[in-house]
Amino acid sequence: MKYISDLHVHSKYSRACSKKIDIKNLEKYGKIKGIDLLGTGDFTHPKWIKELKENLSEDDTGILRTENNFPFLLSTELALIYSQEGSGRKIHNVVFAKNFDVVSQITDELKKRGRVDYDGRPIFGMNCPEFVEMLKEIDKDIEVIPAHIWTPWFSLFGSKSGFNTVKKCFQDQTKHINAMETGLSSDPEMNWRLSQLDKYSLVSFSDSHSFWPWRLGREATVFDLEKLSYKNIINALKTKSGLDSTIETDPAYGKYHYDGHRKCNICLSSKESNKLNRICPVCKKPLTIGVDNRVEELADRKPGFVPEDHVPFKKLIPLSDLISQVYDVGVATKTVWKVYNKLIKRFGNEMNVLLETSKTDLNKVVRDKLASIIIKNRNQEIVVRPGYDGVYGVPLIDETKIPEPEPVQKTQKDLKDFF
């Protein structure tokens, strides 16, 4: 049976996250989105773990359930900031655990090294090998997944914080790393260009900071399992057997796909950026180097390479973003919600709308332009103006628009002498 999962989310106790994130809202909007399994997020935070224990019951499967039987898996994201070989390192890792007892042991060990009560995503000064070894000594079934591995800040390969190889980061504990979270600004095709990643399962999760359907489940991993259990999920990550596919946004939709400077309204492709020696043409300071450029740095294969044992993927823009673009209104407006809710009421959940519903049936509920855009989205025919330096990419549903980053167009006069 197939399970659409989003196992990297956050609670209301993480910084820059909605204060209304609770189990009730995660379950409600998880169902609306069409997610079959959610991560709990933030399990080291004392207030959040108390809420988890009050709202979720556990059994011997390692899957926790609400009173309505909606499934959760214990997960969290932890930040490690340390120095190695004279360079500052900032790495985020996602951690899975099979029950509350293991979570308690993890939290107790972390409290010996710092505080866990100030943020759902706390920071510790230990390095990645020490971190993994500590967790594996607690329980061999704990899973560690490097988070959003290409993001400039706080990631394994990030241009501002990371390493050039997995081995350099995790050293003798590399043997315990089975999967990599690709993040919003990259997709599997980009990661296939690095032969060093061939042995790892490539997973996608939302890293959502809210429960709204344009965030929750925007990226997901689909498991194909005989039974939903913690053991089967971990085995799928280790062997790739049971990994059906991933659901991705277009990598250009991510906030760090291209190089750029948000304050200067500068967004550049890797080719354009490198011509400028990666210096902002407006303020003359170094650009924030995006994922596209960083992949080019580390790739040892040409674009288009496909591994023999690859797991397929589908690129989708969230439904709310499509409605927002068609009606030319904000994503959280009443207009968007009205149209969105009509589709959910008729077709059950967002994944059904995006992946399964025919254009004929869509036309019975919404106007033809939106129905056509939903089908284009399914066929991966929508061009996205790339995101950069913390700015999300924008779907361009009007096919007459030129797919160039808007900030470049705005500053073309200023840049003409550079190209």
Model confidence pLDDT, tens digit, residues 213-232: 999 999 999 999 999 999 99
Quick check: 38 pLDDT over 90? yes
Mean pLDDT of the 90-106 span: 98
CB 239 within 8 A of CB 311: no
Q: Band the pLDDT of 400: cuts 50, 70, 90.
A: very low
Rounded Cα gap, residues 117 and 190, in angstroms = 37
pLDDT of residue 161: 80
Q: What is 2-253's CATH superfamily?
A: Metal-dependent hydrolases (3.20.20.140)
> What pLDDT is recorded for position 380?
94
Instruction: For 250-274, write each residue's pLDDT tens digit.
Output: 999 999 999 999 999 999 999 999 9
Helix 319-327 × helix 368-378 angle, to 10°: 140
Does residue 40 contact residue 256 with C-beta atoms inside 8 Å? Answer: no
pLDDT at 56 over 80: yes
pLDDT tens sequence across 302-345: 999 999 999 999 999 999 999 999 999 999 999 999 999 999 99
Question: Quick check: 301 and 192 in contact, CB under 8 A?
Answer: yes
Q: What is the average pLDDT value for the chain, to the nearest integer?
A: 94
The string of pLDDT tens digits covering residues 346-388 is 999 999 999 999 999 999 999 999 999 999 999 999 999 999 9
What is residue 399's predicted lDDT score, i.e. its pLDDT? 54
For 331-382, the DSSP string reads TTSHHHHHHHHHHHHHHSSHHHHHHT--HHHHHTTS-HHHHHHHHHHHTT--
Query: Can you give the residue ranges of every domain in the chain?
Result: 2-253, 318-378
How much is the pLDDT for 162? 78
pLDDT > 90: what percent of the chain? Answer: 93
256 with 151: CB under 8 angstroms?
A: yes
Q: pLDDT digit string (tens) for 58-79?
A: 999 999 999 999 999 999 999 9
Distance CA 66, CA 39 (A): 13
Residue 405 pLDDT greater than 50, yes or no: no
Query: What's the pLDDT at 415?
Result: 37
Q: Give the confidence band of 49 by pLDDT, cuts at 50, 70, 90.
A: very high
Residue 118 has pLDDT above 70, yes or no: yes
What tens digit of pLDDT does each residue of 143-174 get? 999 999 999 999 999 999 879 999 999 999 99
Sign of CA dihedral 302, 196, 314, 325: negative
Q: Model's pTM, two decimal places? A: 0.94
Per cent of the chain over pLDDT 70 is 95
